[in-house]
Amino acid sequence: MGLGNASWLYAEHNSSLRFITHTHAINSIGDLQLVAGCETNQELAMAWSRKFGLPVFSELSQVNFNVDLVVIAVNHAELLDVTLAAIKRWPSSKILVEKPLITSEAQLVLLQTLAEIDLERIWINFPRNFQPETA
């Protein structure tokens, strides 16, 4: 979910940055097969779909098949809600989330109430302290 800079656009602007994008990383691992994207911005969705030849959904609820890995790279304010929706939609899938997963004390309290979630299947990506637009 989220087809912006971290998904693929860094590499579009500078091919030497392919290794830091989710789409290119997934495509480079032989055991993984990228099957779809999810993006609310229709312009980004269409561009990604054209580039990679895969379907794009505007909401997670539209994806009607199981997946082994969900990558979530949306704006910080939406991360927790989208992550919780993915956990509910795919209860046994691995989930890679961009940082920070929570941005407020209220979200921390909500996350703490969800102790029954298998947190070993949720991974939080490293900070991009040297991402292109901040270098």
Domains of the chain: 5-129 (3.40.50.720)
Comparing 101 with 74, the larger pLDDT belongs to 74
Starting at the edge strand found earlier in the chain, the sheet holding 69-72 runs 69-72, 94-97, 122-124
Query: How does pLDDT run across 2-12, given as a tens digit for each residue?
Result: 998 888 888 88
What pLDDT, on the 0 to 100 scale, is given for residue 126? 65
Q: How far apart are CA 101 and CA 18, in angstroms?
A: 24
- Mean pLDDT (whole number) for 29-56: 94
Query: How does pLDDT run across 22-36, given as a tens digit for each residue?
Result: 898 888 888 889 999
What pLDDT, on the 0 to 100 scale, is given for residue 52? 94
Say which residue the tokens 């290119």 belong to. 24
Q: Report whether pLDDT(135) > 60.
A: no
